[in-house]
Structure 1
């Protein structure tokens, strides 16, 4: 009997694959039998992770740079799965966010999905493959002090649905929308903005998710694996919340 949600003989590329949700996704897809391309701006970290996988390859990529993205695509001979995971955060109201910060956020979180998807599209179409975009509940509901971030993740979800409409039979495109996940980004946020009250703010982050805990990168990675598998063959253009009940409350 074939393993449930198996990805044997599939080739997957994960942007921002060297840390956090990206790294957990690389490990999960590797466990599922896929050949995994760990694509990251930090090539040394990508190589370190790729060396730990059964079928891992490291790839340097700057997802905001068209030349870098096209070079990465040209280095591949096949691609069945694309996980657009690379992203950054931003804290502030519309009054607080600078043009430079807003521009940077859009380049990393939004333009990157355009550039990477466009460059990888011929390979994905050839494979009748699957794309999973890592969105956020911040693209579904308003989150205080996250004006730019909400705007960027809203665009991610819109692009997901639009791609599914343009290519309904040629490929599948879905998004996952995590709540707050315990990652280096969250720790960096706590250190930068709340170093004097980390545990208090951590409790607030936990409390907005009715299940009573933060998510883990592995929680998200398991959902990505499922969406890439044959068992999810009837799921297309979907945004799947994985948020401990946040958006249901």
Structure 2
């Protein structure tokens, strides 16, 4: 199957279903992930409408949503899950840009630190929990997204895959699909301009690729942080996200075939 869906103005849009999951298989056309939709074209909106989305989970902070408000299609009626949990002015990414030396190593270190904290950030716990609740009750397709559709979204997609019984190799392979050379080529000039606007400084292509991409060790860091506090991912999902055996059974019935 073609996992990546072509859109004019929405980056990193793909179906993260259709993987083997034990003796079953994740359904295709039920689980989607992407970057934000602020730059969606009218044609993009019609393509999104055709996906049958009934729930959209926006993992961004309030200030991110204000900077890049989502575009919606005419007659939009999907449930939108978002929150305002945390400091109104919380903006760690831009804080990092202003204080960093903007080297590739600095971006890598930032991401490792980010993933170590991410599974337990209150905003993420609320949104991840509500996503799984919605996944259990909706009959339609679900889209999860953040700003770039790679970190917050990547962790949540990986947890969904784990719940479904997708093999670890496939979980990682799906996560790494963010590292699309064509996407890098499109986004590097835009990212360079954003950094220049915010810091007045230049940075290398190597550093920009580090900012735009993902690495296996990032996801491993998030899972290791979970294992440091819980005996298993399943225990974390039950104790922190509220996904108990009954919820798992309902979700599995929806997303597995």
TM-score tier by shorter-chain length is 0.3 to 0.5
Q: Normalising to structure 1: TM-score of the pair? A: 0.35
Q: Normalising to structure 2: TM-score of the pair? A: 0.34
Higher relative contact order (CA 8 A, sep 6+): 2
Q: Choose between structure 1 and 2: higher helix proportion.
A: 2
